[in-house]
Structure formats: structure tokens, C-alpha cells
Structure 1
């Protein structure tokens, strides 16, 4: 399914998601009591288009795109955020504050195995997947000045994150790789007066490479 069509489908399904009952929600003892409404956020569509993962109450839930009751997938006393399926549908990556400021975790959907991928002290936010499902991209404030973001990549097997963008005086955030995985489109906000705010930019996904011309 093309990315544009997936976004359109997800937009059409959002009203359904908002009205979906959560399986583990507390039920009122009074039969005539109004049904509780739950806030949902950060929905993401599975690669096969059959399922939506979303955040509610700081946990991650899933629901069929055809409708039905939501199922609790990841639960913790801290907050989970921004779930993203891998392109091959094998994994679900997400952010969690269970280890402090926020790190990236990887869930193997078939087995339930959970793996922590990042260990920095700064806040980290998941931004995307490589097309081959072998690399996760994220933004982090851990190594830039004044709490600004740089974009990194880390293999799903773990290891040291490698910088994709690392402008010392700008914040790079919310990017996505091209279908070939050779380019990375992101937003850049320059921390200077009258800079015009955040602008779109592109770079190679090779570590320590400069902006693409």
C-alpha cells in the first residue's frame, strides 16, 4: 500500500478509533451510567492495513481497522509513546519513560520479546524505520546544545547510535526516510533571531554525512 493511501485510510479510521471501547476499561456498576470516553493519540497503521496501534492512558493498544474492541499490547506504570510498526510487520518500536527521560524500545510482535535500543540521558523520540526493517531512526537531545534535537539511527540488534544529522546550532526533528532509504527528509529549526523558524531539509542516511544538495 502506498504511503499516501495509508495516510488517507488512517484519517478515515480516526473517528472509529475514538469511539472504540477499550477491553480492559473499568465498567460502571450502574447499567444506566454513561459509557466512559477515552482519549487516544498517536495512531499508526500496520503494514498490511489490518490493525491500528495507538496510545491511551500512557499504554499502547491495538484495534482492527474493521472495528471492534481494543486490545492492550504494552502496559507499564510509566508512559509509552509513538508506536510505529516496522515495514515488514515483524516489530513495533515505541518510546517509553520507564528508564528515565525517554528511550526507544522494540517489541517483537510474534513472541512478545521486548528489547531496549537506546541508553542516553536525553529525551528521545521515535521518528521512523528504514525500508528494510533493520534500522530505527529517532531524535535525541542528549548531545546537542540547549536541548536541541539531532537525528540518529540504531540497528534493531542494538549497538551505538550513529548520527544522521548533527548541526550544532539547529534542531533537527520529525524526519522520514525515502522509499530507497538513501535520503532522509526532516525539519530543521535554526536557533537564531529572525531565522524564519523550522524548514524542510534532506540529507543522506549515511552516518556523519552533510545535507544533500
Structure 2
């Protein structure tokens, strides 16, 4: 501080704390123990440096003199402690801590001892700043809820299907009306189930790794999903009672985006098994040897024809270098390019399989298009200023639902499959993350995130603090 600069350097994948004279010269390493060491912060008198260390497992707050000798742990135990901040008088260290998926502000005396909790809620606190007289802190607090809702296409009335305390994503509706979704915090998610009678969500998977991309089997007896519970992503299935979850694919490659065949016996998926690039593969649910279907260089987002005779996918065309929609007749047809211009994605078959809907942009935002497969006749369905993406045809063929807007506030819309003015089904306050059709096409379920960020301040008196 002043005469020296503290910094973090990485050597052989390990982060450590170093200091160097502000005028240059040789740097010296302050911390050389095992683990990762990060986020150094000078004490006001320049004699100590607080930092985050994982030498004992979980991230904890440590303090080391500028001599590099006698580093001491100021926090310990379960939880992730990070972003230490000295009070201006040097008597306190504030920091953020994540414990049991909850982030709060804590403070510990610079002379050591127990830490005290200053906040205790589900909001996420950030940007700690001390009062000049060290009597308190100012910070921002963000609180959001991500819930699954259902909305009627005709009435536009929404009601919640999951509680506020469950962060729910990617809802998918079974043929029996049950709703599977993903929930979790900190980047790790599991599969949950809730009925349309709005009962308490039931957790179907539990273990290491995370789950993604749910798909119900046509008969509603199984849920396919991708899971990283054994390391790399594989395709798994689980029944709605949560028993006997098992892997359908087992490979060190990435197996993602499973899609059921209409008869429920096969799964198409994307995999990096071939030369490390994603291609479309096919397997039975008994994993009797996956078969590679495409060799496009990259093939994504397989979609089954309603009669199971062909698959749509997205891949780059060699002629223009753009991503296009392709179809492949099974079992051994040749890929056929369906789109001709622009960047194309998000394709979905109509329920009778004669037309597809997809999103296209030619440099100025996505719009939706409908194409008759055999004739190639294409008509534009939307033409707004915002990106219109992820179109999905209703089971009765009457409507097409899609998301529109910027990524931070995308909303759910529906438009007649014959064309016309789209109708917004959700408000502009919040963001729709994903959706699925329900009730044969009369309603949609969707994951919606809403919340707010505010500035808060907290003062404290030593005699009123509760030790950790």
C-alpha cells in the first residue's frame, strides 16, 4: 500500500498473493500454501493484507502481515466466505458469505474471534462500502423469484404453480398434465415435479452434478434429461415417482439435448463423440449402441417429425457459412437443407408434420417464418423490432407461442398459426426464461423471473452483535 502493490498471480493453475514495489523491481510471494488464494485487500495502516484462501477446503478469510509470516484464518467452517473489506479504522473486516444457498453480510474483529452476521434473508447482498467513521456499511440487495406459472391463451390470466422459495426453470408438461421442472441454486439444478392441482413440488433427482433439458416421454411414464452427476454430461431417464433414475448413455463425451421419438422407444441427442464436435445421434432407451445420424461438422437441436420418419436439426451450410434448418429421413437418408438465406434456428414441426416454424435473422434481429416442407413455400409470421425466438407450435395447430424482447426482459407471446397480430401473455416486469404448451393448446406454462435491487445500509453496535 503506497510503496507496494498487492496482486494475484497464477502459476500452474494455482492463484497466489504477491507484492511488488510501486516503483518496480522483483515481486515477492506472500502466500505459498496449497489451495487457491485470491481477493487481497490492504488494511488501512498498510501492515496487513486480508485475502480469500481455500487451503482448508472451503473459501475462508485469512490475514497475513506484509512480511508474509504468520498468516491467520479469520473465518472457518462450512460456507464460502469472500470479498473481505476493511473498516476505515482497521478494527473490522466485513465480508460476504454463502451458507446453505443464502448470501449474507458478516463482520469479524481485526483482532480475531467470532464472526457476526449482519443480514439474514434470501436476498443477495453486493458492493459492500463502509461508513467513513466505521460505524456501519452500505450495500445493494437484490431479491428475485423464479417461479413456474400457467397462463390461458384466450383469457390471458396467469396463476403460480410453484412457491417463491423454489427457483424453478424449464417447465415441461406431460401427456398426463404433470409438470417437471429444474430447480436449484449456485449453478446446480435437479429435476422436480408438480401437479396442476398446485401441490408442493417433489424432488426427483439428488446427487452430484447438475441436470438440464427435460423431456417427457410421449406416454408420460419417463423423463429424459442431461446430467453431469458422473462427470461429463450423459442422457438419463427417471420415472415421475423419482425411483430408479438411470443413465441411457455413458460416455466421456458430452451427450446433451435428448428428444423422444413419437413412439417413446428412441432418443435423439447431440454428442461430441465424433471428433469432439456436436453431431446428432440416436439411441434406444436401453443404450444398445448409439448410432451417429449426421456428419455436418456441428449439428444441434434435433426435433422429431410427428410420425417418427425424419428429424429436423440445425447445422452450418458450406455454401454460405450460415446456420440453416435441415431434415434427415430415417434410418439412413441424406440431410436436406430446408432454408436458403440468413441465420436460422429454433425449428419446430407443426402437429401434422407438413410445415415447420423457425426463427431467422439477416443482420437486424430475429423474426418468425413458417415453411411448407414439400413445396418450400415460406411466409413471414412476425415482423417486430425485438428478437422473436424459440417458436413452438400448439398441439392443436392453431397457435404458435414464442419469446420476444431483449434477454433481460423477454416476454411470452402467442400468434395465430395463420398470421396476424401477436398477443402478449406476460407483463414487461420480469423475464420469461422458458415455456411449454399445456392443456392440448389452451394454455402455456412458463418460468418467470421477477425481482428488484435496492440500496441498504446497516449500522452495528458491538454489544448487540450475535456471534456465528
TM bucket (normalised to shorter chain) is 0.7 to 0.9
- Pick the aligned partner of 1:51 from 192, 217, 222: 222
Other-structure match for 1:149: 323
Q: Does residue 39 of structure 1 match 2:206?
A: no
Larger Rg: 2
State which drifts further: 13-22 or 58-67. 13-22
* Partner SS, residue 174 of structure 1: strand
Aligned mates of 1:85, 1:68 — CA distance in 2? 20
Q: What do the CA deviations read for 1:95-138 (whole angstroms, capped 9, x no partner)?
A: 101103211111123672421111122x1103311111010110
Aligned mates of 1:124, 1:9 — CA distance in 2? 32
Superposed, which structure 2 residues align to 1:14-29 within 5 Å? 14-15=182-183, 17=191, 19-21=203-205
Aligned mates of 2:324, 2:287 — CA distance in 1? 32
Shift of 1:164: 1.7
In proportion to residue count, which structure has more strand? 2
Other-structure match for 1:73: 248
In proportion to residue count, which structure has more helix? 1
Shift of 1:67: 1.8
Shift of 1:37: 4.4
Sort the Cα spacing of 1:142 and 1:188 in 2 relative to 1 into closer, same or farther, 3 A.
same
Aligned mates of 1:198, 1:7 — CA distance in 2? 31
- Pick the aligned partner of 1:211 from 364, 369, 378: 378
Query: Contact between 1:87 and 1:131, CA under 8 Å: does it hold in 2?
Result: yes
Aligned mates of 2:210, 2:287 — CA distance in 1? 28
Aligned mates of 2:178, 2:303 — CA distance in 1? 17
State which drifts further: 79-88 or 112-121. 112-121
Aligned mates of 2:268, 2:303 — CA distance in 1? 9
- Pick the aligned partner of 2:356 from 177, 184, 191: 184
> Where in structure 1 do 4 or more consecutive aligned residues deviate above 6 Å?
none
* Partner SS, residue 151 of structure 1: strand
Unaligned runs of 5+ in 2: 1-171, 184-189, 193-202, 381-468
* Partner SS, residue 98 of structure 1: strand
Sort the Cα spacing of 1:111 and 1:37 in 2 relative to 1 into closer, same or farther, 3 A.
closer
TM-score, normalising length: structure 2: 0.37
Aligned mates of 1:97, 1:206 — CA distance in 2? 31
Superposed, which structure 2 residues align to 1:47-196 within 5 Å? 47-57=218-228, 58-100=233-275, 101-109=277-285, 112-121=288-297, 123-143=298-318, 145-146=320-321, 148-167=322-341, 170-191=342-363, 195=364
Other-structure match for 2:429: none
Q: What do the CA deviations read for 1:134-187 (whole angstroms, capped 9, x no partner)?
A: 1011000243535x31011112212210112121xx111111100111110111
TM-score, normalising length: structure 1: 0.78
* Partner SS, residue 351 of structure 2: coil
* Partner SS, residue 112 of structure 1: coil
Q: How many residues align?
A: 188
Aligned mates of 1:40, 1:160 — CA distance in 2? 33
Query: Contact between 2:284 and 2:290, CA under 8 Å: does it hold in 1?
Result: yes
Query: Contact between 1:60 and 1:81, CA under 8 Å: does it hold in 2?
Result: yes
